[in-house]
């Protein structure tokens, strides 16, 4: 039995400790916002936060999450109102949308570490996340917009 806290809720998971965290999150906990894209830490669709840091859950063993705090897209905000989600919605970023959970989770760490990222900072932080629909230009613009929204929110 492996105990993991996901989005603030404790779960005791009875599974192979070598099972990638991705499949535990999706198939056992039923949180399907986190996506399978490549299984090789290449595309970022499976990005979640482990103790606040971005990890690729497709290549992270369930055992590594034991006793740790995991946040998935379902836990990024209470009501789809993280500044990034607001910016994504405002700027119509997604197309098919499959990669966007991972994009948002990667961007959330970037924005926390760097509240005013440059284009170069965004490229550096986001190049691990593939979007096959090609929404990169909008993701870049939406991260800048989210940074503005976060600053406005902090002032008010």
Which residues make up the interface to other proteins (CB under 8 A)? 15-16, 19-20, 23, 26-28, 30-40, 42-43, 45, 72-74, 80, 85, 88-89, 92-101, 104, 122-124, 126-140
Compute the least distance from the CB of residue 12 to other proteins, in Å: 16
**At which residue do the structure tokens 């902090």 appear?**
154
With contact defined as beta carbons under 8 Å apart, do 54 and 30 qualify?
Answer: no
CB-wise, 123 or 148, nearer to other proteins? 123
CB-wise, 139 or 149, nearer to other proteins? 139
Rounded Cα distance, 140 and 145, in Å: 9
Compute the least distance from the CB of residue 65 to other proteins, in Å: 14
Q: Apex CA 49: angle with CA 153 and CA 47, to 5°? A: 105
CB-wise, 134 or 153, nearer to other proteins? 134
CB-wise, 51 or 127, nearer to other proteins? 127
What backbone torsions phi and psi does residue 61 show, to the nearest 5 degrees? -70, 145
Compute the least distance from the CB of residue 146 to other proteins, in Å: 11
The H-assigned helical ranges of the chain are: 21-23, 83-90, 100-113, 119-126, 136-155
């Amino acid at each position: 039995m492996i105990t993991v806290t996901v989005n603030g809720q404790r779960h005791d998971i009875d599974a192979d400790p070598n099972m990638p965290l991705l499949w535990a999150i999706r198939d056992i906990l039923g949180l399907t916002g986190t996506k399978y894209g490549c299984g090789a830490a290449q595309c970022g669709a499976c990005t979640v936060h482990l103790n606040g840091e971005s990890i690729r859950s497709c290549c992270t063993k369930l055992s590594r999450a034991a006793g740790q705090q995991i946040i998935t897209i379902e836990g990024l905000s209470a009501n789809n109102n993280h500044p990034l989600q607001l910016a994504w919605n405002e700027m119509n970023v997604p197309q098919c949308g499959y990669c966007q959970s991972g994009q948002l989770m990667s961007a959330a760490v970037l924005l926390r570490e760097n509240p005013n990222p440059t284009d170069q900072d965004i490229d550096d932080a986001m190049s691990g996340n593939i979007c096959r629909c090609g929404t990169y230009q909008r993701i870049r613009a939406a991260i800048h917009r989210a940074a503005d929204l976060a600053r406005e929110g902090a002032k008010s």
